[in-house]
């Protein structure tokens, strides 16, 4: 095992990060996970608990300095760690800039000092704002809220380290990832967690607007595969959009989940459709989707008990939770 390549996954106890750990261990890597467990859960790695090739450190990424032993002999760094959600970022913008921008800079410096062969940054399609679809990588950047800005500034820092210090960087702008192990706590947000908890409670699904809005949902294991290809490719300094390339409506999701529906007001600053143009990643990296939307939803229903402790949202609690959203984005969404 000593000759096995080493990879670091920041946020590796989180949703997508834990799927990245799965893939790397299956490919024969030794994996070092750094996660402060604010958003992640050690339980997401429990199936690897006795794996000799996995090491876990509960730390904040901002605690790392160049020369940190964690980065010794590392080949690849996959940077997923950060904080998400729209409303909290509007309420606590300084924290988002600190974690998502300065935390990324810390990781870049550690990777640079260690001589990492590739740094793959988990960017966000939120940088495009209300985008034209299908959305290409050269679409104008127009972040609408601090989370989107912080993720884009982290991306900009990564490419600055590539430009100035020759750190080999690629970035993937994730559209709508979903799958098992997605977060069960925190602010009102991702539709899957909201709906699965409601289904467990026998409550109606709270559908925003008329449910015709479409999202480019992609299963987390397919996301991890794309990140691995972005590390292995000889291409560097590249940005790739990542989705399934086939948006699904919220109504279709409700149909697959099965249950009653209650409709709540549409929110400002939310697109009617997200749709990644995946031509570049398919062409340059040979990536393709493996898990269909129907199969992915089926996997989540099989694991539905995971969301039993998640917050149970209803129209009144959603209205309270999104008050800031309406207050700040209402005037800026046109």
Indicate which residues carry an active-site annotation: 147
Concatenate the DSSP letters of all residues of 95-145 into one string: HHHIIIIIHHHHHHHHHHHHT-SEEEEEEEGGGG-S--SSBPTTSPP---S
User: How far does CA 107 lie from the centroid of its chain?
Assistant: 17
- What is the crossing angle of helices 250-257 and 293-302, to 10°? 50
Tokens of 325: 């959203």
Run of H or E including 248: strand 248-249
* The two three-digit tokens of residue 130, written as one number: 């209300």
Place of tokens 């409700």: 254
Half-sphere exposure of 187 (CA within 13 A, CB side): 18
Using CA atoms, how far apart are residues 53 and 30, in angstroms rounded to an integer? 5
């Amino acid at each position: 095992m000593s000759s096995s390549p080493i990879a670091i996954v920041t946020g590796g106890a989180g949703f997508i990060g834990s799927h990245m750990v799965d893939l790397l261990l299956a490919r024969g890597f030794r994996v070092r996970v750094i996660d402060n467990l604010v958003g992640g859960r050690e339980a997401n790695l429990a199936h690897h608990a006795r794996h000799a090739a996995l090491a876990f450190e509960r730390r904040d990424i901002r605690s790392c300095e160049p020369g940190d032993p964690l980065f010794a002999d590392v080949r690849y760094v996959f940077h997923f760690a950060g904080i998400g959600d729209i409303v909290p970022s509007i309420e606590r913008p300084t924290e988002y800039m600190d974690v998502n921008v300065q935390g990324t800079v810390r990781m870049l410096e550690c990777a640079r000092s260690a001589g990492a062969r590739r740094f793959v940054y988990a960017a966000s399609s939120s940088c495009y704002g209300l985008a034209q679809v299908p959305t290409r990588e050269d679409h104008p950047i127009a972040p609408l809220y601090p989370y989107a800005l912080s993720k884009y500034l982290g991306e900009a820092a990564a490419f600055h380290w590539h430009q100035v210090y020759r750190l080999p960087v690629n970035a993937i702008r994730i559209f709508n990832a979903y799958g098992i192990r997605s977060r069960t706590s925190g602010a009102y947000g991702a539709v899957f967690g909201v709906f699965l908890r409601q289904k467990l409670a026998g409550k109606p699904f709270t559908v925003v607007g008329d449910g015709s809005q479409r999202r480019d949902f992609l299963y987390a294991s397919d996301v991890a595969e794309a990140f691995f290809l972005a590390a292995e490719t000889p291409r560097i300094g590249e940005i790739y959009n990542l989705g399934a390339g086939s948006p699904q409506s919220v109504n279709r999701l409700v149909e697959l989940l099965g249950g009653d529906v209650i409709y709540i007001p549409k929110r400002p600053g939310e697109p009617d459709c997200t749709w990644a143009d995946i031509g570049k990643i398919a062409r340059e990296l040979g990536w393709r989707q493996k898990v269909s939307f129907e199969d992915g939803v089926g996997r989540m229903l099989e694991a539905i008990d995971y969301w039993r402790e998640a917050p149970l949202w209803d129209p009144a609690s959603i209205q309270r939770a999104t008050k800031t959203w309406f207050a700040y984005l209402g005037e800026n969404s046109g």
